[in-house]
Structure 1
Amino acid sequence: MNVWSEPQSDSRFADVDGLRFHYKRAGHGPTVVLLHGSASSLHHFEEVAALLSASYDVIRPDLPGWGLTESRDDRDYRVPTYAATVARFLDVLGVRSSAVVGNSLGGNIAWNLALDRPERVSGLVIVNATGYPEKAVPAGLRLARNPLLRPLLRRTMPRRAIERNLLAAVGPHSDIVDDAMVERSYQLMSRPGNRSAFVDFVNTDQPDRSAEIPRIAVPTLVLRSASINAQHFAQDIQGAQELVHADGGHLLPEEDPQWVGGAIAKFLDSPADSSQWQQGGRP
């Protein structure tokens, strides 16, 4: 059994803002940064990274409070803070500009980075991204917002609860939630500091920057699952392209990495050529 809570042979580390950042890097070519979502890790983009690394320099960090990257002493888990930290992480690595891809929270961080530091983002790909006011809050997040449960969840996160949350996050035809995936998530959530970081993140008042989304001016690709329709990035970002996956859930990069990886590669090859895209189709 893999020990997911320990560094692997291709693990790398960087010191950023006093944090020990865990990341992986593979491939050669233009740089692509892959940002995972909440309660996740760099493993979320494992297969997408393998596909892209044939033509790109692919960087996957564990965001602060997740995976093997340390939690923040200041407990500041606001999305703009995450975006600023990612920019400084890339400074440490010597990356001045790159394509940035993010799923869920990672997509929120990616578009915040495109707003605040557009010179750092050569292309933006957001996958089932968050950032508009929430219409519904997943059950796992509602529990972590319960003031009676918060102290308990800082001490323990039941494996069965993690499994239920993963099953709720995938599409109806997905079979990716197996024992290995649940064990990986359980081990990483059980690392010192990660459970408390999760509770702190869920209870952080996030600034609503959705009114600023139309200011995003970098080439943008929106990937979403048909079942996820509460976000309006394709309409609000001028020139944005959108592709819709018919069967996927929230964890699309793991549910259909070939579809996600192919869409990203095609977009990055010619991000400004909208003639090659069909709204709502497959790449």
Structure 2
Amino acid sequence: MSTWSAPQSDSLFADVDGLRVHYKRAGHGSAVVLLHGSASSLHHFEGVAALLSASYDVIRPDLPGWGLTGPRADRNYRVPTYAATVARFLDVLGVRRYAVGGNSLGGNIAWNLTLDRPDRVSGLVLVNATGYPEKSLPAGMRLARNPLLRPLLRRAMPRRVIERNLRAAVGPHPGVAEDKMALMVEQSYQLMSRPGNRSAFVDFVTTDQPDRSAEITRIAVPTLVLRSAGIDGQRFARDIPGAQELVHPDGGHLLPEEDPRWVGGAIADFLDSPAHTAQSRQGGRP
């Protein structure tokens, strides 16, 4: 079994405001930034990145609190803080113009970043994204909000709990066979077991997030909304002017891992579209 709790041969690190951000970068051309969701890591977009890196400069960070980046010293896990950290991370890398996409929390961060740095973002991709206040919480997050369970979860996150949450998050799509599910569980378990990551998860879940959903209508960049038919679509396709929406018939919440070919193909078509190409600038590696 591979070890995901240590740097790999293609691991890179960037110092960003006191954080040592772990990331991977592959390909050439216009930059595309892919942001994973909560309790996840950059591995979430691995299959999608492999498809896109043939034509684009694909950048995947481990967001603070997760993966090999680990926890923030200030324990500030507000979504606008995440967006500011991603913007600073890209400044450190010297990437001035980029498309940004994310799944779940990553999508929430992506649209917040688009609102805060419209001069930098050429396109936005939201994959089962969050951000509207009525979004229901997964079972694992509800557990972490229980004041009796919080101290226990900071010390241990049982493998069976991780597996149960992952199984509940995927749909009936045949892309998640038992061997792939075992891989997802092992990755999540190893990375959640790294020092500080369990506490960061509890801190994130118990953080009061600001409601910026009224600002979503101000997003003015080309936008692609990808969602699974059985997932609450929020209202991004309605509220973002000109947004295009594609619906996967049988995926779950973790669509980039369940069907990376579908997600990667949809993103590639979007990035190649005249609407996005007109917005794009030379921000990637030559």
Query: TM-score, normalization: structure 2?
Result: 0.94
Contact 1:123 1:271 in 2 (8 A): no
Give the alignment of 1:38-187 within 5 angstroms.
Answer: 38-174=38-174, 175-176=176-177, 177-187=180-190
Instruction: Verify: 1:214 aligned to 2:217, yes or no.
Output: yes
Q: Which amino acid aligns with 1:16?
A: V
> Which whole-Å deviations, capped at 9, do the CAs of 1:116-156 have from their partners, x for residues lacking one?
11111100001000000134221111100000000110000
Structure 1 residue 230: Cα displacement: 4.4
Contact 1:135 1:230 in 2 (8 A): no
RCO greater where, 1 or 2, for CA within 8 Å and sep 6 or more? 2
Structure 1 residue 237: Cα displacement: 0.3
Instruction: Verify: 1:229 aligned to 2:232, yes or no.
Output: yes
1:164, 1:226 → 2: CA distance? 21
Contact 2:115 2:219 in 1 (8 A): yes
2:250 matched to which residue of 1?
Answer: 247
Q: Which amino acid aligns with 1:48?
A: V
Question: Percent sequence identity over matched residues?
Answer: 84
Q: Which amino acid aligns with 1:81?
A: T
Structure 1 residue 228: Cα displacement: 1.1
Contact 1:98 1:123 in 2 (8 A): yes
Q: Which amino acid aligns with 1:15?
A: D
How many residues are aligned here? 273
Structure 1 residue 271: Cα displacement: 5.2
2:173, 2:269 → 1: CA distance? 26
Unaligned stretches of 5+ residues in structure 2? 277-286
Unaligned stretches of 5+ residues in structure 1? 274-283
Instruction: Give the secondary structure class of the aligned counterpart of 1:70.
Output: coil
Q: Which amino acid aligns with 1:193?
A: G
Structure 1 residue 263: Cα displacement: 0.4
2:24 matched to which residue of 1?
Answer: 24
Contact 2:34 2:58 in 1 (8 A): yes
Instruction: Verify: 1:190 aligned to 2:186, yes or no.
Output: no
2:157, 2:127 → 1: CA distance? 27
Q: Which amino acid aligns with 2:123?
A: G
Structure 1 runs, 4 residues or longer, greater than 6 Å off: none
2:238, 2:134 → 1: CA distance? 18
1:258 matched to which residue of 2?
Answer: 261
Q: Which amino acid aligns with 1:36?
A: H
Instruction: Give the secondary structure class of the aligned counterpart of 2:275.
Output: coil
Instruction: Give the secondary structure class of the aligned counterpart of 1:136.
Output: coil
Structure 1 residue 249: Cα displacement: 0.3
1:229, 1:193 → 2: CA distance? 31
Contact 1:219 1:271 in 2 (8 A): no
CA gap 1:5/1:102 in 2 versus in 1, 3 angstroms: same
1:200 matched to which residue of 2?
Answer: 203
1:116, 1:80 → 2: CA distance? 9
Structure 1 residue 243: Cα displacement: 0.3
Structure 1 residue 214: Cα displacement: 0.2
Structure 1 residue 70: Cα displacement: 2.4
Q: Which amino acid aligns with 1:207?
A: P
2:70, 2:230 → 1: CA distance? 33
Instruction: Give the secondary structure class of the aligned counterpart of 1:198.
Output: helix
2:182, 2:232 → 1: CA distance? 30
> Which whole-Å deviations, capped at 9, do the CAs of 1:153-176 have from their partners, x for residues lacking one?
000000000000000000023424
1:34 matched to which residue of 2?
Answer: 34
Compute the RMSD of aligned alpha carbons.
1.1
